[in-house]
Chain A
């Protein structure tokens, strides 16, 4: 009996099927034509044709953030692959699992400056978790299995697989074999927290008088939201989320004090600054959280739980580091707390909450909308929340609208909030919303964006038409780059250098030109009715262009170089 032989292209598709891949987001080109031919001849995996490779990476990324499944991107060599760089960096910064298959010129031409040749493995080295150069077609299936394993385990991240054309062509064949139970001797991520550290952490928590839980994207990635809620309710402590961690606990939970950091709530930042014990779960003490590290929470004992040892004591020294999967460690902590008969100081807890309520009463996250005046962007997000009953998936671009969405749309569940937190990639929102809509066609999926960000991937309106992705795009149109303008107002004496958009397109007509529906809102009295109308349209993409007050700033805001709770709470007003 002869062994069946496969081309490299067929192997790629078979291996992706073995990884249970449903969608590939990509764009064809010379070096991957054989792979596209193999995709054409099967129907297990659907290929989604984008209009720019950057959008393919963000779409895969959005799909992953919404579902937890590894996103797959396919691009040709040279410019196809380099167009993926921003999307790979975006996924890397937020620890999103992704496998990027990049075409390459034939092995015989590598290094010759051949047509559409770039060293994509070299280009992406600082922004990937790992990468593979395939040089033997028989290795392809196992390399793909390893890529998925590495991307999705430990601290997740993007993996690039470079596929030279001569490994994919019909003339070269080999038998197919794949080891799906991957073992890599040099790669063994930690799972459980060290028992000694767990005991120390539990003891410290038990003795705390002003405990705060600070949780982040790690909770969302680990699908550990239920366990977190249980921990919060056991400890009866206040909890704050990072921008990446929103939805990790319900945004309307009574213990939730809001997002912390640069544009977090005053109560969240005050709670952090005054805590005696900080239980940090799946966070990395990002500079947008800490403000000046020298002044960061000087009186707190910090327990830092993270899967990645490099995140621990990188910026802020952790007194009790715990390396492990955040869900596993939280369960260990709960068990240990019950072993030691956890009994918080009731008097201290009561006083702590009284103090927090005083901060809450300052209502730091608020704005003033005057009837008859321009629409405040915050008002749009609130209307959006009300109409979708807080149940929509919200994919955001980057800028003021992103912060308003984070502040005014309390997310009930993890994976509802999809944004580029670490990299801050403008142009992320629309393709990320498309990936989410693909995964959940029956849910409301919003792309909240601005007139700057939306134009960074607006060509994807065409992809939306092709695949009938009925995203609701809500553009908070302030005719300027709002966040840039805000900084120029605050730091550069109002010199608006290149923050204007003086030649904006007519967005509603543009949407119509792509075959969608455009709705323009420019007065407050039509805001609610027109937004409702937008959300009532089924199976059509609706582009809502809302003209908002361009002078509005995002508050609260960290005072630069101050402590975590040194904040502006309104123009010229310090907390």
Chain B
């Protein structure tokens, strides 16, 4: 089962490596990981997508919480939440037909073309990880994917509750 965890921790050197080290040390899975400072510069927020059963998830949450730098951890997938991932993808656009088709697919998915070369289009798309997967699959049926970069997902709970100090 896939879980998304949001972690609030001290923005200190080495804090990220403790999280990553913990996952590898205890053989926990990381599907994606993103990190950046928050509006409060003393804090960082990490979003980790992981896979594991309930017992593994319980250990992940407890072990992460035990790290001295960690202030809070919250599982987003067990409550209503919004999750987004950013994709930048460079595709072959060699002729009118493929350019038209790429533009059409991109519009349907509400992506935007952010760069155009003689033979390439670069598209930006934001959405759930599922939507990004679907987009890539659709694109790859029409043209050649030259390069793609994904941010890994970030998420936030719906409603009043906030992950803050």
Contacts and interface: CB of A to CB of B under 8 A. Distances in A.
A126 B21 contact: yes
Interface string B140-165: 00000000000000000000000001
B10 interface: yes
B21 A133 contact: no
Nearest to A122: B17
Interface centre among B58, B68, B165 (most CB of A within 10 A): B68
Nearest to A135: B13
Given A125-B21, A126-B25, A185-B165, A310 B10 contact: no
Interface string A181-215: 00011110000000000000000000000000000
A126 B27 CA distance: 12
Contacts of A126: 21, 25
B17 A133 contact: no
Interface centre among A184, A310, A313 (most CB of B within 10 A): A310
A133 B17 CA distance: 13
Interface in A124-148: 125-126, 129-131, 133
Contact of B71 (A122, A125, A185, A313): A185
A470 to B, nearest CB: 40
B69 A186 contact: yes
Interface stretch (B59-67, B97-105, B108-116, B122-130): B59-67
**What is the size category of the interface that chain A forms with chain B?**
10 to 19
Contacts of B59: 310, 314
Interface string A110-134: 0000000000011001100111010
A184 B69 CA distance: 9
A226 interface: no
Contacts of B9: 186
B2 to A, nearest CB: 22
A308 interface: yes
A199 B58 CA distance: 24
B70 interface: yes
Interface in A86-128: 121-122, 125-126
Contacts of B17: 122, 125
B14 interface: yes
Contacts of B21: 125-126
Interface centre among B17, B65, B66, B70 (most CB of A within 10 A): B66
Contacts of A133: 13-14
A310 B63 contact: yes
B63 A130 contact: no
Interface string B4-22: 0000011001100110010
A390 interface: no
A131 B58 CA distance: 25
Given A125-B18, A126-B21, A309 B65 contact: yes
A375 interface: no
- Determine the main DSSP class of A at the interface with B: mixed
A150 interface: yes
A186 B10 contact: yes
A131 B69 CA distance: 10
Contacts of B71: 185-186
A88 to B, nearest CB: 15
A30 to B, nearest CB: 24
A496 to B, nearest CB: 34
B66 A310 contact: yes
Interface in A305-339: 308-310, 313-314
A133 B15 CA distance: 11
B66 A313 contact: no
A130 B66 contact: no
Interface string A455-493: 000000000000000000000000000000000000000
B18 A187 contact: no
Interface string A291-309: 0000000000000000011
Contacts of B14: 121, 131, 133
Contacts of B13: 133
A310 to B, nearest CB: 4
A187 B12 CA distance: 14
A125 B66 CA distance: 14
Interface centre among A126, A129, A131, A186 (most CB of B within 10 A): A186
Given A186-B68, A186-B69, A186-B71, 20 more contacts: A121-B14, A122-B17, A125-B17, A125-B18, A125-B21, A129-B68, A133-B13, A133-B14, A150-B68, A184-B68, A185-B71, A186-B9, A186-B10, A187-B68, A309-B62, A310-B62, A310-B63, A313-B55, A313-B58, A314-B59
Sorted nearest first, the 5 A-B pairs with minimum C-beta distance are A130-B68, A310-B62, A186-B71, A126-B25, A125-B21
13 contacts: A121-B14, A125-B21, A126-B25, A131-B14, A184-B68, A185-B165, A186-B9, A186-B10, A309-B65, A309-B66, A310-B63, A310-B66, A314-B59
